[in-house]
Amino acid sequence: MTRILFRGGRVLDPSCERDEIIDLLVEAGRVTAVGTDLRVDDAELVDASGCWVMPGFVDLHSHLREPGQEYKEDIATGGRAAVAGGFTAVACMANTQPVNDDPATTDFIIDRARQDSPARVYPVAAATRGLEGKVMTEMAALVDAGAVAFSDDGKTIMDSGVMRHVLEYSRLVGVPVITHAEDRTLVANGVMNEGAVSTRLGLPGNPALAEDVLVARDLMLAEFTEAYLHVAHVSTRGAVELIRRARDRGVHVTAEVAPHHLTLTDEAVAGYDTHAKAAPPLRSESDREACCEGLRDGTLDAIATDHAPHAQHEKELDFSEAPPGMIGLETAAAVTLELVRAGVLTPLEWVRRLSTNPARILGRAGGGLGEGQVADVTLLDPARDWIYDPAKGQSKSRNSPWAGQRLSGRVIATFVDGYRVYDVDRGPLR
């Protein structure tokens, strides 16, 4: 039997509001004891002093690109990038080739993850066939196959009638419908946030209004249908406010925000760096502040990476043609620790948004380190500085706006099911 004793770490467990220096014992894939001065003879000892011991992070939003675009990423490399970033589970979006809109593709992803990925992989299935926004997918069969949620992420279901029925039908299976909320007619040919910077750069603008309008619509539809709506990558002040008000009146809605929308603004586009191109785009400072405030007050439940790998030759296209998105699994923790240092979140609230809340949203194990809970554990040294070099990272792609930057806070080791799957010195162990 594998036994691991985490000794002397600061255990941060939002599921039971624990924040104290204490030992943690893991046996056979479960947490079996939390206490001071635990003594176990034959356990592997992990010296966690100076480190944070946390339930493994759960990413609600990543693009693992398999099947179909393995030159960008695959389930194995995406899974390794996940554990290197402290994520023990990742939900992967359906915009693969073929689209994950039938149980066979969902099966394939789960099967491949079981063989190749050190992290748990939860497939998000398409809400409509081919992500075309017209015909809904076989949700019951997809959930049976293992789909955890439905989303046409990358695209928006523009037809309000279709979205209404998708939400209504999702009540049959009881999983969230994740909306990528951008009104395509308002986005038009926009490639960056519309505002003073887009005017100066001469790039077509994508207004915050495009997100606000669609979030407002989807909240109204969720309220009307009494379905469970999850809003992906919130990026605007307006959307945060709309979600806050909907939550107040009892709409069943949760929401996530990406590290880049919490820490960067459209000023990052100033040199026409396509690594700063994302969908939704990097917004204004006022939007960024509103996202931080929404995360602080709980309007935004989770930090989700929107890990979106793209090959170098794709990011070398002109700014309009280059695909949007950036990789984020390996940097999310360090980048968002800025919010802890800035006093926006306590360490415990930070862990809640990276682990406990996303696990709850997906209805999956994890998110806590109480006795009997699954032993998905992330060990992080909050004071350790490192320089992020995507070429030395685990992802196949290198499209990161943080390349070459000094980051503070590093994942030291990651454990899934009580097994060490990542070690900062040795890399991924699977």
Partner 1 sequence: MIQQSLLGIEDLEREDIERILDTAEHMVEIGRRDVKKVPTLRGRTIVNLFFESSTRTRASFEIAGKRLSADVVNFSPSGSSLKKSESILDTARTLDAMDPDVVVVRHGVAGVPKRIADVLSAPVINAGDGAHEHPTQALLDCFTVRQEKGRIDGLTVTIVGDILHSRVARSDIYAFLKLGAEVRVAAPPPMIPPCIEQLGVKAYTSLREAIDGADVVMALRIQNERLTGAFFPSVREYSATFGIDRAKLRYAKDDAIVMHPGPVNRGVELSHDLADHRPSVILDQVRNGVALRMAVLYLYAGRRPVGKRETE
The 10 Å Cβ neighbour count of residue 136 is 20
The residue among 8 and 309 lying less far from partner 1, judged by its C-beta, is 309
* Min separation Cβ 242 and partner 1, Å: 21
Contact pick of 316, 341, 342, 370 for partner 1 (by CB under 8 A): 316
C-alpha span between 292 and 257 (Å, rounded): 9
Check binding of 404 to partner 1 (CB under 8 A).
no
Strands 120-125 and 87-92: parallel
Considering only 66-74, 203-211, 215-223, 301-309, which stretch makes contact with partner 1 by CB under 8 A? 203-211
- Alpha carbons within 13 angstroms on the beta-carbon side of residue 179 total 36
Check binding of 318 to partner 1 (CB under 8 A).
yes
The residues that are catalytic are: 306
* Binding residues with partner 1: total (CB under 8 A): 21
Considering only 227-235, 315-323, 374-382, 400-408, which stretch makes contact with partner 1 by CB under 8 A? 315-323
Report whether 304 contacts 256 (CB < 8 A): yes
Check binding of 372 to partner 1 (CB under 8 A).
no
End-to-end CA gap in the chain: 19
Check binding of 209 to partner 1 (CB under 8 A).
no
Tell me: cis bond preceding 281? Omega within 30 of 0 counts.
no
C-alpha span between 170 and 174 (Å, rounded): 6
Check binding of 203 to partner 1 (CB under 8 A).
yes
The residue among 7 and 237 lying less far from partner 1, judged by its C-beta, is 237
Contact pick of 28, 317, 342, 387 for partner 1 (by CB under 8 A): 317
The residue among 177 and 278 lying less far from partner 1, judged by its C-beta, is 278
**DSSP structure class, residue 326:** B
| Binding-residue pattern over the window 264 to 293 for partner 1, x denoting contact by CB under 8 A | -------xx---------------------
Check binding of 319 to partner 1 (CB under 8 A).
yes
Considering only 39-47, 234-242, 309-317, 341-349, which stretch makes contact with partner 1 by CB under 8 A? 309-317
- Give the dihedral of Cα atoms 20, 25, 30, 31; nearest 10 deg: -30
Report whether 402 contacts 420 (CB < 8 A): no
The residue among 153 and 212 lying less far from partner 1, judged by its C-beta, is 212
Burial 33-71 (b: 16+ CB within 10 A, else e): ebeeebeeeebeebebeebbbbbbbbbbbbbbbbbebbe
Check binding of 144 to partner 1 (CB under 8 A).
no
Non-local (6+) Cβ contacts of 343 within 8 A are none
Which residue, chain included where needed, has tokens 């909320």?
181
Closest CA to 191 of 203, 182, 209: 203
* Min separation Cβ 286 and partner 1, Å: 13
3-state secondary structure of 381: strand
The residue among 274 and 378 lying less far from partner 1, judged by its C-beta, is 274
Non-local (6+) Cβ contacts of 400 within 8 A are 275, 326, 327, 328, 331, 388, 390
The residue among 55 and 190 lying less far from partner 1, judged by its C-beta, is 190
Non-local (6+) Cβ contacts of 265 within 8 A are 282, 283, 284, 285, 287, 288
| Binding-residue pattern over the window 320 to 339 for partner 1, x denoting contact by CB under 8 A | xx------------------
C-alpha span between 268 and 279 (Å, rounded): 14
Check binding of 204 to partner 1 (CB under 8 A).
yes
Considering only 28-36, 316-324, 391-399, 410-418, which stretch makes contact with partner 1 by CB under 8 A? 316-324
Contact pick of 205, 259, 280, 325 for partner 1 (by CB under 8 A): 205
Considering only 121-129, 194-202, 330-338, 391-399, which stretch makes contact with partner 1 by CB under 8 A? 194-202
Check binding of 201 to partner 1 (CB under 8 A).
yes
* Min separation Cβ 201 and partner 1, Å: 6
Task: Write out the residues near partner 1 by the rule CB under 8 A.
Answer: 194-196, 198-205, 207, 271-272, 313, 316-321
